[in-house]
Structure 1
């Protein structure tokens, strides 16, 4: 969407620019911003001082225990805490679309062009802007350089020999993930450059989508009446801005690779750390009318005027042939690559660069095991794949773009969908790649079943989908460092199962395998102050581990609560199993998961304390809202329970288990009656049934169970747990109160609202907006035919995050009406894809109804003919 652009010339440029030569125009849809834009609102991360006095007193014990644990973790063990409450990331309103495919690490390029966020070691981030990583343009006419400019609006204190300070009013950035465009008008030169950034993130593609590479295509438009020679220079430091850039021993070398009639050349930057060494690669495609030149090594400190002069002299670099010596300790090294071409008067030309990185074998923080990344299946694991990777990327990126356009086109061309929604849908997908994501091959000796054979209700040791498609994990958030956090994945999983369903199923097998395992090791849980086992048997884990430890091997990095007592995790597993089956129709998956579903439902039964068919919450924060206490039967967990009973009935019928069906149907009937009696107040379902002062708060997420039933194709006639009229009434109450009575209806739905129209401020989470929950709520409304309300609800979140607060490509878990946000770059907002499922389901239902109507008419005519 267009922000406040400032100069009219910039707005004109943004509205008119089309790359006619290549046929790739900057799309109308997406997120667009002028490089000179400044966000007016500056928010701060949530801190302890933001907690009300009553909440502080309630959590004094937690605070003391956390402080002791934090000190031990950071000062004694020298590790990063999985949640650092003292060092939250400040808001930097700079991020753009990340580079690279799924699971091979990411490098984020900001919307002003800076390389500023790095995740090469799996799940671990460095938020450093590396000043020397830049693109520079050189224009020459008649053998003389007439213009040379770093394409950056910054004026850094280093590299003073370069020409900095490009005027941001003359450029804009446009993101429609996995592609992005930056359009630069060169002042006084009558030349426009468009840098198109392409990453191989392609639905249902399990090969190219795994590649750690990205392409920069520079389209050059010369509107002068004379020809120009244009050079684009790409500079890159050997490293990521981390302290190990100065550890010594790093070196660069030029390379040239010709294969299948196509040639590429560039520079390899070997980063030779003891742990997880890697090679960065900057490369360009060689073509007859383009000249590729390089500088193998230069020091990215001081004025660095020699490199600048080298380019300005003739638009080319010296291109030495040898490798650079290893760096001394304390020194950094960088490399440069330039491509020159002629651009005719009133003409176009293009140059192409690749940035690739090869870290084929990884260890997590414990250093116990070596894992092999997915892309090595196609490019090898020896650490020498960078030239081949860059060659492949440069010769296949147009195919990537065709696939991306084919996927996005039907949605982008649907005039019934608002522009902001199209931007949200595609741009929020960044987290599938940049969520600390790791995608590995499954070692031959790995048993994902937990060692419990199928006759004991377990799983295959190596399910086919895991063997073929590998293991997948992504973080709860870049600041909440736990892999596959399951209560949150419940919301985010729509993106995965709709676009890369094999990865969704693989993740489910890993969760199922951990269900049947146990870890009796006693540890202190910070909220209660009690010791209890790390993992109980036959319950769903909270997460599969911390990347700074050993994920999959040691689960439940989260130690604030004992999640064995959480009420939602088991239910979310059951609901996802059936939803995934409904969308994939994978009968083997259903067969494998059925006994695990039975096991977790049996574990859940103990929470029905009075035997009325409805589970009770404990009086603590025992579900995904882990800072908002709930007592007795509740709208959220009770709704998930009833929905789980519905899908257990459905699955029992699918596997021909009549006895099991009858058992769950009986519980469902009793539980539905109790749910209605204890929680329905005539307009909506109360937050809980405790009778406390705030038990009748309006929870925005109260229909989560019903949402999953609709997403799983279960209609009103399928084991109905939630009467349609009551769901509609509840959703209307949420819209009227949580949405329209909060922040003028402009910020989405607040989690908790009092019936009198003020936010529920009883906890640190009840007065927050959770973006991922809001998208799920909007999907529920769309399923129920409340399209306008659903879109209005979700639009408030998108515009707040992307346009007002400057949180592009770092959508947080939560924000309050004023002042603060919590947990930048979070998993849950991927639930925007649940809206797309709801829209497609609704469209399909309407189409089916229309066809049925036509069929009925045709059938009547046929009968008439037959009768006559």
Structure 2
């Protein structure tokens, strides 16, 4: 969708640039923004001072205990807190589509062109905009041009890596410009300040386009960035690479020579860039009739060393040149003049010496071509980062990234990776287009939805994601064999497809946070189902394990075990510790008493089986499902077949207390009983079926009696002042039943007419009576039409919950209501608040947001599953099954 551009002249220019006659290949659908755009609304992250006075008292103890823990963690242990309540990330309205495949680390390029968010060490982020002079680590493109300064968020303009363009006519340089709207205090000898009014950015993940009109030159550049994020592909999707294709249109009546220069600092803006010992070298690689060349930037840190690579393909009519090493200090005027003199660089041979401690080194690569009058040509550049072996914060174990299966783990794969990327990106684009085409061409779907569906997928890659090979000595079963209710030591799906983990959020640093993954998992099970099953096996293995170590939980102030047996963990660990081996980094509550985690495991097991029809998976998961349901049954204190909440925040809404039977957890419980009945029938266990059927029948009656008020299900049954609040997520259990092909007939937990009435109440109150119906659904609404302000979370909008609510409405043939509900969130986040590629967990009607770049909004793919189901046709995403490329090609680096 196009943002509010303000001036009509800019809008006209934008429209002209994407017209068919311009031929840039920029799609109609996606998220588009002018480089001169400024978002009017500036929000702040949630802080302790934002807690209302009515909620302060109950959080005083938590605050004191958190402060003590935070001090010990940061000042004594010198570690980063898994949630840092004192250093929330400010809103920077600058991010674009991240670069790279799944699980190999990421670099984010902002929509104005800067490289501004880095996650090379697994799960650990730093936010540096790297300019080619100061501490110079991010890549950047530059073009030779002169223009006015565009307004800019100055808070991030510390450093940058760039692209530059040089235009020459009849042997004379007529134009040279850094393709950046910045005017930094560094690199004063370079031509900065490209006028953003003449360019726009367009994202349809995993691709993005930036279109630059060069003022007064009659030349337009279109930079297309491609990352290999391809559904059902478990090989190329793991590669840490990105390709930039520059389309050049010369509208003049004379020929031009055009060069693009790519400058890169050896580093990522982190303090270890100055640790010394880093060095660069040029390379040339030819195989299979194709040649690539460029510069390797070896970053030689003691922990997790890596190599960056900037490269291009050698082709007839292309002139390739490089500068192996230059200091990003000072004006760098000699590099600028080198390019301006003749459109190429000096190309010295040999490697650079290792950097002294405290110094940085950068490299440059230029590629040029001739563009005839009134014609097109293109140039290709590639960025690679090769960090094959990783250790997490504990430094206890070494893990191999997934892509090492194909390119080796010696740290020598950068050249081969660049060769593969530059010779295969067209195939990637074809696969991406074939995947997206049915949805993009569906005229019944609104444009904003298509943008949300694909662009929210950024988090699968940029959620601190790691994808590793299973260690040879790993035993994920917890030491229990199948006959004891355990699992295979190394399940086949993990051996073949590896282990996968992504963060709850870039600021909430816990891997595979399971209460939130419940929502986000739709993206994985629909697009990379083997990774979804891999996560399930890891969770199942941790269920039967226990860690009796006593630790303080910050909310209660009490000590209890880190992990209890036969309960689902909250998360599988902190990347600053040792994930998979030490679970439950979350220590605010003792989640062994949470009511939703076990139930969400059962519901995902059946949904995943329903979508994959993997019978071995179902058989492996069945004893684990029985174990967690038996554990859950202890929460039915009065034996009526319905579980009770504790009076504390004992579920995913961990700041919103709930007492007695509740709509959310009670609904999940009944849905899980339905799923258990279905699985028992599939596995020919009639006795088990009757056991769960009996509980389901009694629980359904109690649920209806205690919670149904004639219009919707009450928040809880406590009878308190807010127990009859309208919870937007009250139908979450039913959503999963419908997503799993259940929810009707024998496997129905909730009467259809009551579900529709509840959804209508949510739509009328939580959506339409909140912010004029323009911001999605507030979590809690009072029946009189004002938000429930009884907690720090009840008056928030949770984007991922809203997408799940919309999916539920679509399942129930409330298509129009579902779409309008979800549209409010998309337009608020992406168009109004400038939170592109950092969708938060939550925002309030005014003023604040919470937890940027969060997992839960991936639930938008639940909407797509609902649409596929409601249209009574098999999803195009499943028609061809998984494209397992593992067997076909030997890409190993020799």
Shorter-chain TM band: over 0.9
Note if 1:529 corresponds to 2:557. Answer: yes
1:716-745 Cα offsets, whole Å, 9 max, x none, are 113221000000000000000000000000
Determine the structure 1 residue equivalent to 2:878: none
Aligned residues of 1:191 and 1:223 also touching (Cα < 8 A): yes
| Cα displacement (A) at 1:17 | 3.1
Determine the structure 2 residue equivalent to 1:864: none
Note if 1:455 corresponds to 2:455. Answer: no
| Cα displacement (A) at 1:11 | 2.6
| Cα displacement (A) at 1:46 | 0.1
Aligned residues of 1:7 and 1:169 also touching (Cα < 8 A): no
Residue 357 of structure 1, aligned match among 368, 381, 385:
385
Look up the SS of the partner of 2:365 in the other structure: strand
Cα distance in structure 1, aligned partners of 2:842 and 2:20: 42
1:493-532 Cα offsets, whole Å, 9 max, x none, are 0000000000000000000000000000000000000000
Determine the structure 2 residue equivalent to 1:268: 296
| Cα displacement (A) at 1:444 | 1.3
Look up the SS of the partner of 2:176 in the other structure: strand
Determine the structure 2 residue equivalent to 1:854: none
Residues 548-627 of structure 1 mapped to structure 2, 5 A cutoff: 548-627=576-655
The 1:24–1:260 alpha-carbon spacing in structure 2 relative to 1, beyond 3 Å, is farther
TM-score, length of structure 2 as denominator length: 0.94
Residue 171 of structure 2, aligned match among 126, 131, 143:
143
Determine the structure 2 residue equivalent to 1:708: 736
The 1:248–1:597 alpha-carbon spacing in structure 2 relative to 1, beyond 3 Å, is same
Cα distance in structure 1, aligned partners of 2:483 and 2:735: 34
Determine the structure 1 residue equivalent to 2:140: none
Note if 1:130 corresponds to 2:139. Answer: no
Note if 1:513 corresponds to 2:541. Answer: yes
Determine the structure 2 residue equivalent to 1:35: 35
Determine the structure 2 residue equivalent to 1:296: 324
Look up the SS of the partner of 1:257 in the other structure: strand
Cα distance in structure 2, aligned partners of 1:3 and 1:796: 14
Cα distance in structure 2, aligned partners of 1:546 and 1:67: 19
Residue 170 of structure 1, aligned match among 175, 198, 201:
198
Look up the SS of the partner of 1:340 in the other structure: strand
1:802-852 Cα offsets, whole Å, 9 max, x none, are 0000000000000000000000000000000000000000001699xxxxx
Cα distance in structure 2, aligned partners of 1:395 and 1:11: 36
The 1:846–1:357 alpha-carbon spacing in structure 2 relative to 1, beyond 3 Å, is closer
Cα distance in structure 2, aligned partners of 1:363 and 1:305: 40
| Cα displacement (A) at 1:19 | 9.6
Look up the SS of the partner of 2:526 in the other structure: helix
TM-score, length of structure 1 as denominator length: 0.97
Cα distance in structure 1, aligned partners of 2:221 and 2:641: 65
Determine the structure 2 residue equivalent to 1:499: 527
Note if 1:61 corresponds to 2:61. Answer: yes
Aligned residues of 1:21 and 1:348 also touching (Cα < 8 A): no
Cα distance in structure 1, aligned partners of 2:593 and 2:505: 23
Note if 1:156 corresponds to 2:184. Answer: yes
Look up the SS of the partner of 2:262 in the other structure: strand
Cα distance in structure 2, aligned partners of 1:839 and 1:466: 31
Determine the structure 1 residue equivalent to 2:843: 815
Determine the structure 2 residue equivalent to 1:673: 701
Cα distance in structure 1, aligned partners of 2:253 and 2:749: 72
Residue 279 of structure 2, aligned match among 224, 228, 251:
251
Residues 207-222 of structure 1 mapped to structure 2, 5 A cutoff: 207-222=235-250
Cα distance in structure 2, aligned partners of 1:192 and 1:561: 56
Look up the SS of the partner of 1:4 in the other structure: coil
Determine the structure 1 residue equivalent to 2:404: 376
Residues 307-318 of structure 1 mapped to structure 2, 5 A cutoff: 307-318=335-346
Aligned residues of 1:19 and 1:25 also touching (Cα < 8 A): no
Look up the SS of the partner of 2:747 in the other structure: coil
1:346-405 Cα offsets, whole Å, 9 max, x none, are 010000000000000000000000000000000000000000000000000000000000
Note if 1:403 corresponds to 2:431. Answer: yes
Cα distance in structure 1, aligned partners of 2:874 and 2:38: 44
Cα distance in structure 1, aligned partners of 2:22 and 2:603: 46
1:124-169 Cα offsets, whole Å, 9 max, x none, are 0010000120100000001000000000000001111110000000
| Cα displacement (A) at 1:13 | 3.5
Aligned residues of 1:202 and 1:404 also touching (Cα < 8 A): yes
Residue 755 of structure 1, aligned match among 783, 804, 808:
783
| Cα displacement (A) at 1:16 | 3.1
Residue 725 of structure 1, aligned match among 745, 753, 758:
753
Cα distance in structure 1, aligned partners of 2:349 and 2:874: 65
Residue 467 of structure 1, aligned match among 491, 495, 510:
495
Look up the SS of the partner of 1:503 in the other structure: helix
Cα distance in structure 2, aligned partners of 1:700 and 1:442: 40
Cα distance in structure 2, aligned partners of 1:663 and 1:820: 48
The 1:714–1:367 alpha-carbon spacing in structure 2 relative to 1, beyond 3 Å, is same
Look up the SS of the partner of 1:686 in the other structure: coil
Cα distance in structure 2, aligned partners of 1:190 and 1:139: 11
Cα distance in structure 2, aligned partners of 1:395 and 1:21: 28
Aligned residues of 1:293 and 1:318 also touching (Cα < 8 A): yes
Cα distance in structure 2, aligned partners of 1:722 and 1:233: 62
Residues 64-75 of structure 1 mapped to structure 2, 5 A cutoff: 64-75=64-75
1:176-196 Cα offsets, whole Å, 9 max, x none, are 000000000000000000000
Cα distance in structure 1, aligned partners of 2:641 and 2:195: 66
| Cα displacement (A) at 1:20 | 7.9
Aligned residues of 1:428 and 1:809 also touching (Cα < 8 A): yes
The 1:9–1:233 alpha-carbon spacing in structure 2 relative to 1, beyond 3 Å, is farther
1:236-259 Cα offsets, whole Å, 9 max, x none, are 110011111111100000000001
Aligned residues of 2:803 and 2:859 also touching (Cα < 8 A): yes
The 1:188–1:699 alpha-carbon spacing in structure 2 relative to 1, beyond 3 Å, is same
Residues 781-820 of structure 1 mapped to structure 2, 5 A cutoff: 781-820=809-848
Residues 386-425 of structure 1 mapped to structure 2, 5 A cutoff: 386-425=414-453
| Cα displacement (A) at 1:54 | 2.0
Look up the SS of the partner of 2:378 in the other structure: strand
The 1:356–1:462 alpha-carbon spacing in structure 2 relative to 1, beyond 3 Å, is same
1:306-337 Cα offsets, whole Å, 9 max, x none, are 10000000000000011111111111110000
Determine the structure 2 residue equivalent to 1:831: 859
| Cα displacement (A) at 1:12 | 3.1
Cα distance in structure 2, aligned partners of 1:265 and 1:171: 30
| Cα displacement (A) at 1:715 | 3.9
Name whichever of 838-847 and 303-312 sits farther off: 838-847
Q: How many equivalent residue pairs? A: 847
Aligned residues of 2:734 and 2:743 also touching (Cα < 8 A): no
| Cα displacement (A) at 1:634 | 0.0
Look up the SS of the partner of 2:437 in the other structure: helix
Determine the structure 1 residue equivalent to 2:765: 737
Name whichever of 620-629 and 326-335 sits farther off: 326-335
Look up the SS of the partner of 2:745 in the other structure: coil
| Cα displacement (A) at 1:666 | 0.2
Cα distance in structure 2, aligned partners of 1:607 and 1:595: 20
| Cα displacement (A) at 1:15 | 2.0
Name whichever of 319-328 and 11-20 sits farther off: 11-20
| Cα displacement (A) at 1:55 | 1.0
Structure 2 unaligned regions, length at least 5:
133-160, 876-894
Aligned residues of 2:250 and 2:256 also touching (Cα < 8 A): yes
Aligned residues of 1:44 and 1:91 also touching (Cα < 8 A): yes
Cα distance in structure 2, aligned partners of 1:22 and 1:798: 29
| Cα displacement (A) at 1:489 | 0.0
Determine the structure 2 residue equivalent to 1:851: none
